[in-house]
Amino acid sequence: MRLLRSTILFLAILLCTVTYAQEGTTTATSSTTQTTKKATIRKPRPKFTLKDKSIDEQFDLIYKRSTKYQDYKVVKITWYNDLRKNIKDSISAQVQMWKEANTETIKLKSEVETLNNQLNTTKTNLDNVTNEKDSLTFMGMLIKKSTYQTILWSIIFLLVVFSIICFLLYKRAHVVTKRTQEKLEDTQKEFDLHRKRALEKEQVLARKLLTEQKKNQSF
């Protein structure tokens, strides 16, 4: 009796376990099926366009969107033509930019040369003005102020020295003239005295001669 009960209880537990396992398997299978369905739903690819992209980005996009066949990539002709056109347009744009940059460079170079010439002219004029400002015209020659001052002070010094020499010579000549006049006056006085004495002697001799003549006449 106990053995029968134990057997029935074991069969019941086994039945319940099998049923639960089937339900779990069904649930897992259903869940897996739903997951697979979700996985098979792909998001739509964005529209293929090469606009507003760099050349590298265009190459990458074509490479990614192209189909693969063995070791090759199959590219659509329209994509190839669009890429080729974009590359040519990009090259043309770069060439045009280079031409414009070259033209601008030549223009700037010309302006720089013009400015350098103007700068050199301005520098020359400034040097001339500076030289004229720091110089004076002396005897038709342009002389620096420092040189002019040196010449002027040298002339003044020479004039002072010449004046001193002239003064000394004049003073010496005045002294000599005064001495000469004094000697001349002394000589004149001696000459007058000598002439007076000679006149007196002449008068004395004339008187003696006249006396002797009278004496001779009386005889």
Residue ranges per structural domain of the chain: 1-36, 50-133, 137-211
10-residue mean pLDDT profile of the chain (219 residues): values are 47 48 47 47 59 78 79 79 84 90 92 93 86 67 75 90 92 88 86 85 83 73
Dihedral, 135, 141, 147, 153 alpha carbons, nearest 10? -110
Query: Which sign, positive or negative, has the C-alpha torsion 75, 77, 82, 85?
Result: positive
Tens digit of each residue's pLDDT (9 = 90 or more) over 179-194? 888 888 888 888 888 8
Q: Check if the beta carbon of residue 138 is closer than 8 Å to that of residue 151.
A: yes
Q: For position 109, what pLDDT does the model report?
A: 92
Q: How far is it, in rounded angstroms, from Cα 190 to Cα 15? A: 195
pLDDT computed for residue 152 by the predictor: 83
Identify the pLDDT of residue 35: 47
CA 135 and chain centroid, separation: 28
Please provide the DSSP assignment of the chain as one string.
-HHHHHHHHHHHHHHHHHHHHHHHHHHHHHHHHHHHHHHH-PPPPPPP--TT--HHHHHHHHHHHSEEETTEEE--HHHHHHHHHHHHHHHHHHHHHHHHHHHHHHHHHHHHHHHHHHHHHHHHHHHHHHHHHTEEEETTEEEEHHHHHHHHHHHHHHHHHHHHHHHHHHHHHHHHHHHHHHHHHHHHHHHHHHHHHHHHHHHHHHHHHHHHHHHHHH-
Q: If we measure between CA atoms, which residue out of 42, 40, 81, 41 comes closest to residue 58?
A: 81
Q: What are 166-175's pLDDT values in tens digits?
A: 999 998 888 8
CA distance 180 to 178: 5
Please count the CA atoms within 13 angstroms of the CA of 155 that sit on its side-chain side: 6
Please choose, from the candidates 46, 49, 44, the residue with its C-alpha nearest in 3D space to the C-alpha of residue 62: 49
Say what the pTM is.
0.37
CA 169 to chain centre: 64
